[in-house]
Structure 1
Amino acid sequence: MALKLDSCVAQHIGDRKEQQDRAAVFPHSRHKGMLMAVLADGMGGHSGGAMAAEQVVMKARDNFEAYAPAVETPTDLLRSVVEEAHVVIKLTRFTTEQDPHSTACVLLMQSGRVDWAHCGDSRIYHFRHDRRVAISQDHSLVGELIRQGRLDEEGAKTHPQRNLLLHCLGAQKEPMIDYGGATDLTDGDSFLICSDGLWAYFSDEEIGGVLSVFSAREAAETLIKRARDRGRPTGDNVSLILIKLIDVEAREKAERERLESARRRLGSMKD
């Protein structure tokens, strides 16, 4: 089964003065069919957050280009991106007056599999058509309270410390890195990577519904527009990466069969 990629990277500054998120998708220059997607939500004062997020993207690009799948595992690559970006962000404190921090979501796609790693409260979703298959776990206070059963999703939306992170890049303690992946890729799979400026305004059901009926670009436009409508006048930066997998041959065959069935029904009605 040959799967085609339909992808989109989209951002909006929201109601903030500066865009401190960074998001990018890039193919490998030597390994055909391999790509990396990375999203980072920077924090830390004027320009400090943007600089931290930029370091995540730069480290992802550099390490991906040097990736040697014959001797490295996907987890090795993903871990190196997050850990080395963390070190670089910490070092910038010595040359700037900011206190830069960033979340990190890094996704590696290659033939037959997807692997990802994340730190912070930017999210990675895996949907199959409109059904959520997997989601990264927020490294935040409210995320931990939900996992402990002390808070529900509705309560998390209004919790006074809902933006407090327990782990991120650039902090004094080493970042927590969680990993995930999928190997049974098929037509209708979608991978959404996004900052909290997007996911905070949606249920899983609404996201799945949008992803299942729209192209990547149309879905990105729809989600960002709704997030902006719901976030004004205090909306955060909004960023997303969307990668959809499509079996073109299977869909064309299904469409031919649908049309043929319709023709047969019309023919029987004439008789």
Structure 2
Amino acid sequence: MSASSQGFRLNAVTGIHRGDRAYQQDQVEILPHERVPGCVLGIVADGMGGKSGGRKAADQVVMTAKQVFERYVPSQDNPVELLQRLVEEAHLMIKLTAISSEEEPHSTVACFLINPDRSCEIVHAGDSRVYHFRGAEMVSRTIDHSFVQRLVNEGQLTEEEANNHPQSNLLTGCLGTQQDPPLTQGHIDYLEVGDTLLACSDGLWHYFTPKELGAIVHTLSPREASEMLISKARNRARGGGDNLSLALVKVEELLKEAPRFDPSRFR
């Protein structure tokens, strides 16, 4: 999918794989605004709980995102408040789903909203991430709401040690729990040509360093990058891989229209 506006193009792709799990509990979407060119919402939700509970939770996140985004008017509405509302409403809907089932559905969320002026708002809860690359270099990434991230913050673990820690999947915040979800938001003033946004679940980022991710998204087209990331993650999981999903958007220059062939010039 691509959307163009104001001299730039957003080249976007999603990717999803069940991994080696019996159930697919990830959900991913990239939603172009129906009325405003250059306005795009990307979202990844990694569901948890029971056989189908996690999928129900992830479905609620994506469904809520669609409903909230449909009502968004970039020239009038506050994008920060939009993402806050998305998280709060999805959290409430998951909790209501849990009341009517025996499962305990929870979900992460990693979401970015690109506006026509090329500013970008980010929100996340849990350990699904949003990365921002400029060329091959990582500019920033979201900081997980997880037990091991807390240990990294306290200097007790390195990033590499955290990745291999037996409790690396223990979250300190997500959607659908009794606690209010974390509302951690980020902002990018301006996305330049060559910038890439990558939202992904831990089933993907677990297998890559930021340097590897940056090299892949910079060197390859979004579709080729998506295919390579999933292929490499599957290979490195060695039969023990989690569900994995990604939403990738690259800011590209609008290609100049090729000159039209005029046969009269050659008569």
Which of 227, 235, 238 is matched with 1:229 structurally? 235
Q: Which amino acid aligns with 1:149?
A: G
Within 1, Cα distance between the matches of 2:250 and 2:174? 28
**Over residues 15-54 of structure 1, what are the superposed CA-to-partner deviations in whole Å (9 max), with x where a residue is unaligned?**
0011100000111222232121111000001010000000
- Structure 2 match to 1:204: 210
C-alpha contact (below 8 Å) 1:139/1:165 kept by paired residues? yes
| Aligned-residue offset at 1:70 | 4.6
- Structure 2 match to 1:180: 186
TM-score, length-scaled by structure 2: 0.91
Within 2, Cα distance between the matches of 1:154 and 1:244? 28
Unaligned segments of structure 2, at least 5 residues: 1-5, 259-267
For residue 54 of structure 1, give the secondary structure of its aligned residue in structure 2.
helix
TM-score, length-scaled by structure 1: 0.89
Q: Does 1:13 align with 2:18?
A: yes
Which of 241, 245, 251 is matched with 2:251 structurally? 245
C-alpha contact (below 8 Å) 1:25/1:35 kept by paired residues? yes
For residue 246 of structure 1, give the secondary structure of its aligned residue in structure 2.
strand
C-alpha contact (below 8 Å) 1:186/1:247 kept by paired residues? no
Within 1, Cα distance between the matches of 2:33 and 2:191? 20
Within 1, Cα distance between the matches of 2:203 and 2:110? 14
Within 2, Cα distance between the matches of 1:97 and 1:113? 42
| Aligned-residue offset at 1:199 | 0.2
- Structure 2 match to 1:47: 52
Which of 97, 100, 109 is matched with 1:95 structurally? 100
For residue 64 of structure 1, give the secondary structure of its aligned residue in structure 2.
helix
| Aligned-residue offset at 1:69 | 3.5
**Over residues 153-211 of structure 1, what are the superposed CA-to-partner deviations in whole Å (9 max), with x where a residue is unaligned?**
12112212110000000000001111112122211100000000000000011011111
Within 1, Cα distance between the matches of 2:82 and 2:163? 34
Within 2, Cα distance between the matches of 1:86 and 1:236? 23
Within 2, Cα distance between the matches of 1:35 and 1:145? 34
- Calculate percent identity across the aligned residue pairs: 45
- Structure 1 match to 2:196: 190
- Structure 1 match to 2:174: 168
Aligned length: 251
Within 1, Cα distance between the matches of 2:76 and 2:235? 48
For residue 161 of structure 2, give the secondary structure of its aligned residue in structure 1.
helix
Which of 41, 64, 68 is matched with 1:63 structurally? 68
Within 1, Cα distance between the matches of 2:241 and 2:181? 27
C-alpha contact (below 8 Å) 2:83/2:123 kept by paired residues? yes
More helix by share: 1
Within 2, Cα distance between the matches of 1:6 and 1:14? 26
Within 2, Cα distance between the matches of 1:22 and 1:148? 32
State the Cα RMSD in Å.
1.4
- Structure 2 match to 1:159: 165
Runs of 4+ in 1 over 4 A off after TM superposition: none
What does residue range 53-132 of structure 1 map to in structure 2 within 5 Å? 53-111=58-116, 112-132=118-138
- Structure 2 match to 1:36: 41
Within 2, Cα distance between the matches of 1:69 and 1:6? 20
Within 1, Cα distance between the matches of 2:35 and 2:170? 40
| Aligned-residue offset at 1:72 | 2.6
| Aligned-residue offset at 1:249 | 5.0
C-alpha contact (below 8 Å) 1:104/1:122 kept by paired residues? yes
Within 1, Cα distance between the matches of 2:15 and 2:190? 27
Unaligned segments of structure 1, at least 5 residues: 253-271
Within 2, Cα distance between the matches of 1:99 and 1:12? 23
Q: Which amino acid aligns with 2:197?
A: F
C-alpha contact (below 8 Å) 1:125/1:132 kept by paired residues? yes
Q: Which amino acid aligns with 2:246?
A: L
| Aligned-residue offset at 1:138 | 0.3
